[in-house]
Amino acid sequence: MIRLKTIIVLTVLLTTIKTNAMNIQTATFGSGCFWCTEAIFQEVKGISDVKSGYMGGENPNPTYKEVCSGTTGYAEVIQVTYDSDIISFDALLEIFWKTHDPTTLNQQGADKGTQYRSVVFYHSEEQKTKALAYKKALNEAKIWDNPIVTEITAAAVFYKAEANHQDYYSLNKDENSYCSFVITPKIEKFRKLFKDKIK
């Protein structure tokens, strides 16, 4: 009898673990400087981890200095781990597109270069389909005067950025003028638009 109860409990636990694992997903976005994008997505309910890094280039193990040259093919990105039972990929796409200008090619504000391009790196066919459909709908709705230039491409190897680029805003917001003049206004805009999605 005790063994049967143990088997039932273990079965329930394993089923729960498997179900929870299925809900944990990965998404990768580039929308200009990764300091800005990281700071926004760190506030989103359902996201358990946000890492700044590089994706889309060819040479392995790129450095920040190399990526900043604009010649490596890499984009500054953030990779997020999220619970799809709490926040959907569609909701993440909405946040992505509403918190940067997806109509400026290789540029966000004063940040210029291919490393600052607007890009969705999809991790599944479902993410690809949703991103393409969302982009098409936004273009047809003419939300912006110019067409969206966001690149939608398959995820490649993600290289985590150097330690001093992780949690950048939270660690430097009182000392760095870029944080005050560029990142803080973006976060304030995000908080107004997405009150229901803040942790």
| Active-site annotation, residues | 33
| Rama region for 60: left / alpha / beta (φ>0; ψ in -120 to 50; rest) | beta
| Rama region for 178: left / alpha / beta (φ>0; ψ in -120 to 50; rest) | alpha
Coil/strand/helix, residue 137: helix
| Residue 118 parent element (H or E) | strand 118-122
**Which DSSP state fits 124?**
S
Closest CA to 60 of 73, 51, 50: 73
Rounded Cα distance between 132 and 26, Å, is: 17
Q: Which residue type does 101 have? A: D
